[in-house]
A and B are shown apart, each in its own frame.
Chain A
Amino acid sequence: MSRRPLRTGGYHLVAGGISLLWLLPIILVVVTSIRSFDDVAANGVGSLPHSFTLDNFGQAWVDGGEFQAMVNSLIVTIPAVIITLALGAISAFALSRYDLPFRRTVLLVMLAGNLLPPQILLVPVSKMAEMLGIYDTLGALIGVQIGFGLGFYTFVLYGFMRAIPNEIQQAAVIDGATPLQLFWRIILPLTRPALASLAALAFTWVFNDLLWSITVIRTDSKFPITSALLGLQGQYVSQWNVIAAGSVIAAIPTVAVFLRFQRHFVAGLALGAVK
């Protein structure tokens, strides 16, 4: 027992050291975000700050159009996450709990969609969005995010739902439950922790995506926050201090979501409730 404080100290030393190492680049971003442009231009990004200002945040938020971009990001991210998970859950349910013909083939095909390098789809997707008349709308971005995320979420949820013991399902079927009732009342509640952790991951991915947003959106007032950040870079000269401030602002929602869902993450893949 006398070794405990020593071990605790050692643990915090190791974990704290790693955390600090991990946060160091982030701290650099924060430091850059409170410097003036002339300071950065004269001394470079890597130097110690010679100035202190909070104007960069205002500049990123107002002049950089970050407020509008943040709204756009949320307009895209929230529906995309909800719809993707809903579609992923129903397909995973059907494929994992029933002996449908070709179910593994279907699962593999859906996963295959996720293995495609997104770059191959950029031009076809933008042309298709144009034909559907939704090019340069947030709807197109939501659509492509759903389509492109679906395979992986189905694949993960399939794994969880397979692990749910069969007796539960059989009992419900004997009681005369339809597939819909079985899904809604039994399987879905058991999958909730997994859905929560996937939701947090999906939120991060969709929110931080850059490639799709510059492909299907053309108008600056419709850009989500990632492409708006990119727009803070000039043709020759970039105001790194403002970009850093913008990045700090842009990271707030995703960090908040992670912290909020942290407990779920850990419970996420665990099906301890099912015995």
Chain B
Amino acid sequence: MTTTGFSRRGFLAGLGAVGAATALGGCVTSTGSQAAGGSASGPVTLQSNLSAPSAKAAMQALVDSFNKKGGTQASLNTVASETFRTQLPTYLTSANPPDVLTWYAGSVARSYAGKNLLLDVSEVWNGLAGYSDALKQLSTDSGKQIFIPASYYFWGMFYRKSNFAKWGVTAPTTWAEFLQVCETIKSKGVTPIGLGADNSTPWVASGWFDYLNVRINGANYHRELLAGKHSFADPQVHKVFDQWKTALPYFDPKGTALSFQDATTNLLQGRTGMMLIGTFLLDTTPKEDVDDIDFFRFPIVDPNMPLVEEAPTDGFYASAHTQRKPQTLEFLKYLTTVEAQEAYLKSSAGSSLPANSTAKDSGTPLITKGKEMLNKAADLTQFFNRDSSDALQPTADAALIKFIQHPEQIDSILTDWQSAAKKVWTS
């Protein structure tokens, strides 16, 4: 750790003026500036939130294979994802930041880019083959690329094939058929829909909101709503909840008391029939059960709406304050290669898809089916917090959990949601 003489002097000066608000503010709200002296030595640091042991091992393998090439070296630094999220502003505004960080594509990344905290990585994108235009668009902010996608995954209604066969139901495509399936499963004495949105993973409920909103109002309205251009108290939003209400009787009454992991356990044990969730549910599925898992597309509500799917994209961006710009770009370039993408996929038990279309995915029937679903989609959304901001997510959690428990209070829930969201947008 080096400190520049300037900042230490500035600090002492600040101490001398304890009462001076300027000094107070200057210290605490200062954002890191380029340290004089240019490039620092040492390896490129990759700050990663992939903290599950298998994911961590896969990332380490990726960094090791980069280091074996000789030349620039990189070092991996893994932090629990919850810690990572709270510390992200500190990382990015630090005068000596991590060079490369894992995070999500979409509005979440763009908002940091808008504050000049992310490195322009257009150089890496130049002449890059194997990446779709959609991914490039997703990684672009005001004409510059600021993000390197690594992988994406999909959401769907997951279920056990053997159980559907046992209950004599087949995967539905429309909302009416879906309710019919729920009715049949219920008649077998099984809870049709599992949720898993307790206090530790309340965001799971946002999947339902996102999907119903894009099925009823379309992807553009959804994005505008999340950006604060519409009110959550709008009649269009109300329609989403009216639709949701028709399925609520089939929801697990304990849905808001179980974490996503426990809800997965219930699904595997046949206590619930299906669950709207991302492919990461495979990470917590015992190996012998994986082949019995299948999914169907979220049912169609309005046949006139183009089909939109959720495809959250994960990847990397670099800090604008990096003191190792050339080495950082070299490392990012490596991260776009087939070799690196395939190594990265191992971090998720093969449940996600590589961003580089020439890289091989796990090739299981389920993953192939998901890939086809996304390829046919008219548009892709990311997920509630990725299309808006991490700051807006708690407002959604409070509103959606309350709706699931007290659907009759929907009017006051939506006005409360709007006023809470407004505070986030205007702050």
Binding site for B on A (CB under 8 A): 38, 41-45, 59, 63-64, 123-124, 126-128, 130-137, 214-215, 218-221, 227, 230-239, 242
Contacts and interface: CB of A to CB of B under 8 A. Distances in A.
Interface string B95-128: 1101000000000000000000000000000000
Interface stretch (B82-90, B215-223, B391-399): B82-90
B79 A239 contact: no
Contact of A230 (B27, B80, B261, B265): B80
28 contacts: A38-B287, A42-B286, A43-B265, A44-B262, A126-B90, A127-B27, A127-B30, A128-B11, A131-B11, A131-B27, A132-B3, A132-B11, A133-B3, A135-B1, A135-B96, A214-B86, A215-B87, A215-B90, A218-B87, A220-B79, A230-B82, A232-B53, A234-B81, A235-B280, A236-B52, A236-B284, A238-B52, A242-B53
Which 7 A-B pairs rank lowest in CB-CB distance, beginning with the nearest? A234-B52, A133-B3, A236-B280, A38-B286, A235-B81, A230-B80, A237-B284
Contact of B28 (A123, A218, A221): A123
Nearest to A140: B1
A109 B80 CA distance: 36
Contact of A41 (B52, B77, B86, B284): B284
A123 B90 contact: yes
A135 B285 contact: no
B269 interface: yes
Contact of B83 (A126, A128, A230): A230
A234 B55 contact: yes
Contacts of B81: 233-235
Contacts of B87: 214-215, 218
B326 interface: no
A232 B53 CA distance: 7
A231 B78 CA distance: 8
Q: Is the interface of B mostly helix, strand, loop or mixed?
A: helix
Q: Most chain-B Cβ atoms within 10 A of its Cβ — which of A44, A123, A135, A237? A: A237
B151 interface: no
Interface string B12-50: 000000000000000110101000000000000001011
B269 A64 contact: no
A216 to B, nearest CB: 10
Given A127-B30, A131-B7, A230-B80, A235 B50 contact: yes
Q: How big is the B interface, by class?
A: 35 or more
Contacts of B286: 38, 41-42
A249 to B, nearest CB: 16
A109 B365 CA distance: 67
Given A42-B286, A130-B96, A236-B280, 14 more contacts: A38-B286, A38-B287, A42-B269, A45-B262, A131-B10, A134-B1, A218-B47, A218-B87, A220-B79, A231-B83, A233-B81, A234-B52, A236-B283, A238-B261
A6 B206 CA distance: 61
B51 A232 contact: yes
Given A235-B55, A236-B283, A218 B86 contact: no
Contacts of A239: 52-53
B265 A41 contact: yes
Contacts of A219: 77
Nearest to A139: B1
A214 B53 contact: no
Contact of B8 (A123, A132, A233, A237): A132
Nearest to B45: A219
A231 B79 contact: yes
A109 B10 CA distance: 27
B80 to A, nearest CB: 4
A134 B7 CA distance: 13
B27 A124 contact: yes
A124 B77 contact: no
A133 B78 contact: no
Contacts of B142: none
A219 B97 CA distance: 11
A235 B78 CA distance: 11
A269 to B, nearest CB: 37
Contacts of A234: 50-53, 55, 81, 283
B236 interface: no
Nearest to A43: B265
A235 B268 CA distance: 20
Contact of B1 (A45, A133, A214, A237): A133
Interface in B273-312: 278, 280, 283-287
Contact of B98 (A137, A214, A218, A227): A218
Nearest to B53: A63
A187 B95 CA distance: 47
B2 interface: yes
Contact of B91 (A59, A131, A218): A218
Nearest to B287: A38
Nearest to B50: A235
A92 B8 CA distance: 32
Contacts of B80: 227, 230-233
Contacts of B11: 128, 131-132
B67 interface: no
A123 B280 CA distance: 33
Contacts of A42: 265, 268-269, 286
A65 to B, nearest CB: 9
B27 A235 contact: no
